[in-house]
Amino acid sequence: MLLNYLVSLIPLTQNWYSETFPYSIMSFDPTSILISSFISGFLIGGVYSVVHTSLKGTAAVKGLKFGFLIWLIIGVAWLVTTIDLTPMVIWVLDFVVGLFTYLILGLVIGSVYDRA
Q: Which of 50, 68, 49 is nearest to 116 (CA)?
A: 49
What pLDDT, in 10s, does the model give residues 5-56? 555 556 666 666 667 766 665 555 667 767 877 888 889 889 999 999 999 9
24: domain range? 2-115
What pLDDT, in 10s, does the model give residues 66-109? 999 999 998 888 788 877 777 787 778 888 888 988 899 899 99
User: pTM to 2 decimals?
Assistant: 0.73
Report the domain count for the chain. Answer: 1
Q: Which residues of 42-80 are buried (b: 16+ CB within 10 A; e: fewer)?
A: eebeeebeeebeebeeebeebbbbbbebbbeeebeebbe
Residue 101, CA atoms < 13 Å, CB-side half-sphere: 23
